[in-house]
């Protein structure tokens, strides 16, 4: 009985292996190499704006944390809202609204 169960399990895995190995290997399409070699112009490249936005965000966060008198890691502003922010932080954020335009 045990040998019959083992034979059945072996048959299932053998059938699966035969089906997997019978799948033909397909060559890579010829246009992939030309697409990878083609350079994307800066004005059409989305990663250019993404890099600008992330760099600006990091710069703004560093400056924002250094300006905050309320709390160094700014958790109080996130918990209680803008009424807990000091005047320096509010004026600085208003001056740097350009980051939202990207």
Q: Could you read off the pLDDT of 42-70 as tens digits, one per residue? A: 888 888 888 888 888 888 777 766 665 55
SS in 3 state form for 16-81?
A: HHHHHHCCCCCCCCCHHHHHHHCCCCHHHCHHHHHHHHHHHHHHHHHHHHHHCCCCCCCHHHHHHC
pTM above 0.85, yes or no: no
**Residue among 92, 95, 87, 99 nearest 63 (CA):** 92
- Segments of the chain scoring below 70 in pLDDT: 64-77, 100-102
pLDDT at residue 72, as a whole number? 53
Q: Do the Cβ atoms of 74 and 86 come closer than 8 Å? A: no
pLDDT at residue 100, as a whole number? 57
Domain spans in the chain, listed from the N-terminal domain onward:
43-102
pLDDT at residue 98, as a whole number? 75
Burial (CB count within 10 angstroms: exposed 0-12, middle 13-18, buried 19+), residue 51: exposed
pLDDT at residue 97, as a whole number? 76
């Amino acid at each position: 009985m045990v040998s019959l169960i083992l034979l059945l399990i072996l048959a299932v895995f053998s059938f699966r292996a035969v089906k997997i190995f019978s799948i033909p290997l397909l060559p890579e399409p010829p246009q992939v190499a030309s697409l990878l070699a083609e350079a994307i112009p800066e004005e059409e490249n989305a990663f250019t704006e993404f890099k600008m936005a992330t760099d600006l965000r990091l710069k703004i966060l560093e400056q924002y944390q250094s300006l905050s008198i309320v709390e160094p890691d700014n958790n109080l502003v996130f918990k209680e809202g803008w009424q807990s922010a000091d005047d320096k932080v509010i004026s600085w954020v208003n001056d740097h609204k350009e980051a939202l335009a990207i």
